[in-house]
Chains A and B, each alone.
Chain A
Amino acid sequence: MTSWDAHTAVDAVWKLESARIIAGLVRMVGDVGLAEEFAQDALLAALERWPEGVPDNPGAWLMAIAKRRAVDHLRRAERLDRGHERLAHELSVQPDPGVAEPDPADGLDDDVLRLMFVSCHPALSTRARAALTLRLVGGLRTEEIARAFLVSETAVAQRIVRAKRTLAARRIPFEVPPQGERAARLSSVLEVVYLVFNEGYAATAGDDLMRPGLCLEALRLGRLLARLMPGEAEVHGLVALMELQASRAGARTGPQGEPIPLHEQNRGRWDRLLIHRGMAALLQARAVGGPFGPYVLQAAIAVCHAQAATAEDTDWAQIAALYAALSRVLPTPVVRLNQAVAVAMADGPEAGLALIDPLLAEPAMRNYHLLPGVRGDLLARLGRSAEARAEFERAAALAQNGPERAILLKRAAVLPALPVTFGPAVAAFLDREGLDPATVRSYRKTLTRLLREVGADRALAEVTAGQIAETFAAVWGRAAAATWNRHRAAVRSFAAWAEAGELGALLERRPEPRGRSRPMDPAAVETLLARPGLALRERAFWTLLYEHAARAEWALALDVEDGGRLPWPPRTAALLAQLIGDRVRGPLFLADRRSPRTTRDRCPDTGRGRLSYERAEYLFKQASGCTLRQLSQAGTPPSPA
């Protein structure tokens, strides 16, 4: 037999048979560690004997040898422990190992399923579960598992030894869990399979082939599980998800191993066979029925992508709806980020940004490069180049993998940087798209004059609020209150845009004769508050001002503690509760950025600063064309309680 030496033959047979052999042995001896020992004995015997001639049915041969060892062990144990009633009783309830099984195939299938539930038992860490499952069910050698997970062989060996010890100490029964705990235990199994898959999927060209090989191991485990538990929709969902993701494996990296985003992939390189299998698995999940779990929903999203002939044909509305459902059953920040991406594709970048902004407060997202990556992308599409550039740079700094970092830096490099001197900054500020021409004219007057006084070449960072205040006093000191306030508004708007919030800080607003500032139309306020995709912070802040007829300065000075304490009108109360989440301290309304200061104007948990009046006013003006003051005046003050 050419190209077939004993070692590789034994290894190949072992990988095909290990699950059934180990499972059968565990049922006999009731211990994973012992079962593996006997299996190892059988492997050694095969290595000795097979060079003389490989048996016709090598799997059955290995099983027979291992079983003989197990029987010897059980007899020895019986002799040693004769008189010990407990053990004797245990042995009497074990199936008699000497008798051949009535229907080996059926019995073994159930045993393999039991083995998976044991090796994926929640008493073990996820990593230990993965290693043990690959070892026992996949038949991988310790050294192969170590290479696949990029850890040392000793570490894997220890992990497996500890896991076996835990299983023995906790007397984990060899069974398919009863109905009551079935769902939780199954999700522990699925988690392990998906972890193995992702570990392999994350590996790229040039990596050790053992890593991409993990995808195949996971697919096999999943396909096996789907046959063993055909009535579980989530199992089919996971298989569908993995088949569909694997179908894109060949298209998702470039020649240098750089990742290619989904929408740029060559769909001709997607594996139609795996797509077909994925869709078939999803249909099976649907046939099982019941509410859709996270794997079924993720697979349904993957199907939407697979069905689009080109990136432009993607049904983003459907995907956004599926993500909305997914974020209800799996409300993780990453899912919400993906939802934001889908919403941005379906309803425009602004709607996406509105969903992303609340994520900035999530501690889990702080070092996650995709958050600034996605934000940068949406900002770039909105033409907010300078902000986009900063986000891409931040994403690049956080990215763990080289090719990804390179792509982010490239995206940052093609965007114009925030102009640092006063003149170009003003020009860029006035040059933005979508501004009302009258506003631009008014701003231009103020800012051009200011430029003349302060100097267009001055670095923006050098200009102080004091200088601006002096210049204002000199130039417009004697102007009417409304004029003064108009110039003041222009500077503050510019400062908020350029993120130089301090610039207008010393300019006092001058009281205008009454009646000058008209309250907003309540209908317009309601329309604004009902706008889809409005960020939670804005919705809460504006509702508070409106319902409470509160002054913006007062509201912005509130802390989290106040948010829970004051008697808010119902709508405000609900929104504030949502906004606060599980924060217990710090400013109620947080800025998007971290603050360098350590005052009470900084959230001690996230490091983000207090939302400034300038920024709040700027955002509201952008959204409504009115001032926060006009918003407050539209509301009715609460009756004193």
Chain B
Amino acid sequence: MRFLMTTKGGGQAPDEAMYAEMGKFVEEMTKAGVLLATGGLDPVGTRFTSSGGEVTVTDGPFTEAREAIVSFALIEVRSKEEAIEITRRFWKIAGDGVGGMQQVYGPE
């Protein structure tokens, strides 16, 4: 099963040591065949609202920057527990912040 881990903006600013440790963690998870894809996201996104057949496009930035998703990781694991364990390890390295973890349905 796959899970999408996301982090929101406004977390702890990364320093060099955290970068290095995170790099090692990413490499380790890739090697173990767990991490399928990962990336950072521009917090200044574009918002789409569809209502009654009309699609409204609004360019950012938006005021609630803390709510914007700024990074993601798609992992493939045996169980939800395993996903939790990996996400926990991620946060041990990332320090303070807020994020989520959701199961991904779809082609499997």
A12 and B108 in contact (CB under 8 A), knowing A222-B33, A224-B31, A224-B33? Answer: no
B80 touches A (CB below 8 Å): yes
Among B30, B37, B76, B78, which residue has its beta carbon within 8 angstroms of that of A227? B30
Nearest neighbor of A11 in chain B, beta-carbon distance: B81
B94 touches A (CB below 8 Å): no
B57 touches A (CB below 8 Å): no
Q: How many residues of B contact A (CB 8 A)?
A: 23
Interface residues of B in 64-103 (CB under 8 A from A): 74, 76, 78-82, 84-86, 92
* Residues on A with beta carbons closer than 8 Å to the beta carbon of B31: 109, 223-224, 227-228
Q: Looking at chain A, what size class is its interface with the partner chain? A: 35 or more
How many contacts A-B (CB < 8 Å)? 65
CB distance from B20 to the nearest CB of A (A): 13
B107–A16 touching, CB < 8 Å: no
A270–B107 touching, CB < 8 Å: yes
B33–A4 touching, CB < 8 Å: no
Among B30, B33, B74, B80, which residue has its beta carbon within 8 angstroms of that of A219? B33
A224 and B32 in contact (CB under 8 A), knowing A16-B86, A250-B108? Answer: yes
B32–A269 touching, CB < 8 Å: no
Among A3, A216, A271, A274, which residue has its beta carbon within 8 angstroms of that of B84? A3
A250 and B107 in contact (CB under 8 A), knowing A16-B32, A219-B33, A220-B32? Answer: yes
A12–B32 touching, CB < 8 Å: no
* Residues on A with beta carbons closer than 8 Å to the beta carbon of B36: 273, 277
A177 touches B (CB below 8 Å): no
Report how far A274 CA is from B87 CA in the complex, Å: 22
B34 touches A (CB below 8 Å): yes
A8–B107 touching, CB < 8 Å: no
* Residues on A with beta carbons closer than 8 Å to the beta carbon of B86: 16
* Residues on A with beta carbons closer than 8 Å to the beta carbon of B33: 219-224
A15 touches B (CB below 8 Å): yes
CB distance from A210 to the nearest CB of B (A): 10
Among A219, A227, A271, which residue has its beta carbon within 8 angstroms of that of B107? A271
Interface residues of A in 41-68 (CB under 8 A from B): 56-58
* Residues on B with beta carbons closer than 8 Å to the beta carbon of A272: 107
Report how far A220 CA is from B79 CA in the complex, Å: 14
Report how far A325 CA is from B72 CA in the complex, Å: 42
A-B contact sample (11 more), CB < 8 A, given A12-B78, A222-B33, A223-B33 = A9-B85, A11-B81, A12-B81, A12-B85, A16-B82, A16-B86, A57-B92, A58-B85, A219-B33, A221-B33, A223-B30
The 9 closest A-B pairs by CB, nearest first: A223-B33, A220-B33, A271-B107, A12-B81, A227-B31, A8-B81, A12-B82, A250-B107, A12-B85
What are 7 inter-chain pairs, A to B, with CB distance below 8 A? A9-B85, A12-B79, A109-B31, A216-B78, A247-B107, A250-B108, A274-B107
User: Residues on B close to A: CB < 8 A?
Assistant: 24, 28, 30-34, 36-37, 74, 76, 78-82, 84-86, 92, 106-108
User: Residues on A close to B: CB < 8 A?
Assistant: 3-4, 8-9, 11-13, 15-16, 56-58, 105, 109, 213, 216, 219-224, 227-228, 247, 249-251, 269-274, 277
